[in-house]
Structure 1
Amino acid sequence: MTTTSRRPAHIAMFSIAAHGHVNPSLEVIRELVARGHRVSYAIPPAFADKVAQTGATPVPYTSTLPTDDDPDAWGTELIDQISPFLDDAIQALPQLADAFAGDEPDLVLHDITSYPAIVLARRWGVPAISLSPNLVAWEGYEEEVAEPLFAPLRASERGRAYYARFRGWLAENGIDEDPDRFVGRPRRSLVLIPRALQPHADRVDPAVHTFVGACQGDRSAQGHWERPAAAHGKKVVLVSLGSTFTKQPAFYRACADAFRDLPDWHVVLQIGRFTDEAELGDLPANVEVHRWVPQLDILRQADAFITHAGAGGCQEGLATATPMVAVPQAVDQFGNADVLAALGVARHVPMAEADAATLRTAVLELTADPEVAARAEAIRKEMAAEGGTARAADLVEAELS
């Protein structure tokens, strides 16, 4: 059962042009609109149509962040991967302030990467809620993870300049706070992943962070996957590296070769935008290739999932109780892969070891183990009880009250 606040409110959501940051929020926004709230969603133009489909009003702004079309632009060093967010925040803040001038919201929702949203919420004197599409900080996170990771950066010339610029920008906006805490320690947070995916979940502050789990909603607009006649009676494995780090023809060939001599298996291979199908060579008859697939629809029918372990894919695999082979590519995916393996529902296979024999063995052993199936089903039930979209909307309305 859903609840409704005393009056319809104006809610502003802020995010960046990245599927992994926009998609998790969409069903929450759709639900808030359905409850009668007016939602303005600040987003670069490339995602405006997707946002508009929820009933929210897109508020377009110009972003300088690299997009999913150019993953190599993020570089390989930590400073190259965090600096663009500060650069973008500094140039976007005046745009966003102007866009909402005279129409300030009653509450701000924001992705974890949207620094201007936090500044504006404080300027406007309204509550701000982070919608986190991935893991959050636990008690002791700074000492155990952040300090070892960021200490060399803070000691470097480029790192010192970055932190000085960040502190100066915050000070200009009346905020006296350490940049890392500003980014990583929100006042209030709804975590859009299942609690099972969160490391040290028992040490996460429940007064700040609430795990609402997967907010998946109706995916019919993404289409449906029809099992080919030749695949009837066969087991199905889905292979997907998401939307960004997909220029991996050798990996896709390995996945096809892993099942080349297994006639009882059918492979659905999603290769994304950056791999030419011709690079895959001669594929066996039990492999179908697509640039994009309705992932959740396939997972509801699949027996195994070879995934990059992005937050979205992980929770879809868990929500459908599908055993996973996690082959992480970047950022939080390595940690996600370890968590899945620790849960007993997946194998973590480093990319350098992801040859055909290793992938085949991992899938066959996972799908033959009844304990893996039992653990996956138990997690699926736990996730279903977390509340998802309706609970997230209830908690937003509680802040309005």
Structure 2
Amino acid sequence: MRVALLTTTQHGHLNPYVPVVNALHAAGSEVALLLLSADGGALDEQRRQALGKAQVHGVGQVEMAPWSGDPARIGPMLRSSPVADQTAEAIRAAEPDFVLVDSLPVTASAMVGAHVSGVPYGMIWANLGGVCPAEHRRGRWPYDEQVGAYLTGHGVGWSTRTHSARSPILNLMPTIPALVGADAVTDDGVQLVGLPGAAGARGDEVAFAGLDRLDPERPVVYVSFGTIFYRRPDLLRTVILGAAATGAQVIAAVGDLAAELALPDDVLTAPYLPQREVLERADVFVTHGGYNSVAESVRAATPMLVIPLAVDQPIQAHFVGSAGFGTALQPADVTGQAVAAAVADLLDPARDYRARLRAAQPECGDSAARTAELVVGTVETLQRQGAR
């Protein structure tokens, strides 16, 4: 059995899919990883080693900036993109029995390529957009309408209830009922498969000696806006100082902004941090709401202050708030005082944030292993049907 997995080079997409690749290998499949280079990104050697036996193929280029620009440009960009043809060609060359496509607007052309390749395909998500009711995507509607028209025009399924693509065969959402609740749209063929972020090498591991310097008498607040959206020095500094004003020990991932931020000496910073390890020590996580960060925080039972900055992050902020796993603060409302008040609320044991997160732990599971199980079962079913 041979499975192709198509995604982008972004950390937020490689992180959850490296374990999926390895789980498919463990289930007896050969795996081809088809990579779209996002903004010129490439696969580094550490990540390549974490992928084990997978064959890695570059497919084409996608750009992130247009998805925060003029929505009217999205349709023409998708229609003129070579990515659809490049994807179909790459899939046919890899000769898989099944393709699992990372479903997000930036991969829309690749979805068309998977559809026209003639190979059976399924969808998987690295955010909660695939189950989020459309009314919570109002800020993205102009983009969604362009994507929906483009996909349906090429025969790809489209859910108007969630403004997201659908496979006719398999749709996998790496999340749990405790996070998305009854508000989630799951009655149109989407299966929940558990949270990403389980233990295991992903190729992004780094050391951080600062963990040994933590004061056990002080609560710990971890601040990170991810690897793409962190470049907002004024906002990041306000958040860090607001969290520090509570008396908490602050650890922050700041990319290359450390000198520019000019933070107090007792704020521990690094360009990039071992997030899963830090979250195990943290009492509060201040995050931009990237889905991997949210999922890893749920796994660590760490309450969140979500400050959604772009794209799918307001969706995650909505679900975190409705689940009672944290609270949200809009970027325009961020002040040192507002951050300090939100962090103090999250640190208050009487507010039960951590208790709700701990109650969700039995649901977390291993989304990579469950994904591999469902993909293998789907391929076996298709093969049996084809043999009749």
Q: What TM-score do you get using the length of structure 1 for normalisation? A: 0.79
Alignment of 1:192 onto 2:174: yes
Unaligned runs of 5+ in 2: 381-388
Say if 2:50 is the partner of 1:53. Answer: yes
> Counterpart of 2:187 in structure 1: which amino acid?
D
Distance in 2 separating the partners of 1:184 and 1:177: 6
Aligned match for 2:229, one of 235, 242, 245: 245
Select 2:206's aligned residue among 205, 216, 223: 223
Structure 1 residues 1-39: Cα deviation after superposition (integer angstroms, max 9, x where no partner): xxxxxxxx1111111232223322221111112333211
What do the CA deviations read for 1:83-127 (whole angstroms, capped 9, x no partner)? 64x257x40233334334454211111111434554455445433
Give the AA of the match of 1:34. Answer: A
Q: Which residue in 2 is equivalent to 1:258?
A: 242
Selected match of 2:318 from 319, 335, 338: 338
One of 280, 286, 295 as aligned partner of 2:266: 286
The corresponding residue for 1:327 is 307
Structure 1: runs of 5 or more not aligned: 1-8
Residue 214 of structure 1 corresponds to which residue in structure 2? 196
1:305 aligns with 2:285: yes
Q: CA deviation at 1:78?
A: 3.0
Secondary structure, counterpart of 1:43 in structure 2? strand
Stretch of structure 1 that moved more, 240-249 or 117-126: 117-126
Residue of structure 2 equivalent to 1:112: 103
Structure 1 partner of 2:353: 372
Change (3 A) 1:11 1:93: same
Identity of aligned residues (%): 25
CA contact (8 A) 1:135 1:197 kept: no
**Could you tell me which amino acid in structure 2 is paired with residue 36 of structure 1?**
G
AA at the equivalent of 1:258: G
Q: Secondary structure at the match of 1:325?
A: strand
Report the CA distance shift for 1:97/1:77 in structure 2 as closer, same or farther (over 3 A). Answer: closer
> 1:394 maps to which residue?
373
Distance change (3 Å), C-alpha of 1:180 and 1:241: same
What does residue range 67-106 of structure 1 map to in structure 2 within 5 Å? 71=65, 74-80=67-73, 84=77, 86-87=78-79, 90-101=81-92, 103-106=94-97
Please tell me the residue identity of whatever aligns with 1:58. V
Aligned match for 1:26, one of 18, 22, 33: 18
Cα deviation for residue 149 of structure 1 reads 6.2
SS of 2:273's partner is: coil
The structure having more radius of gyration, on CA atoms, is 1
Alignment check: 8 A CA contact 1:79 1:153 kept: no
Say if 2:220 and 2:284, in contact at 8 Å, map to a contact too: yes
How large is the RMSD of aligned CA atoms in angstroms?
Answer: 3.3
Aligned amino acid, residue 369 of structure 2: A
**Structure 1 residue aligned with 2:123, among 130, 134, 144?**
130
Secondary structure of 1:390's aligned partner = helix
2:219 corresponding residue in structure 1: 235
**Alpha-carbon deviation of 1:229?**
3.0
When the two structures are superposed, what TM-score results if normalisation uses the length of structure 2? 0.82
The alpha carbon displacement at 1:375 in A equals 0.9
Cα drift, residue 132 of structure 1: 0.9
Corresponding pairs, count: 367
For 2:375 and 2:101, the matched residues in 1 are separated by 12
SS in 2 for 1:213: coil
Looking at structure 1, the residues matched to 184 and 193 of structure 2 have their Cα atoms a distance apart, in angstroms, of 12
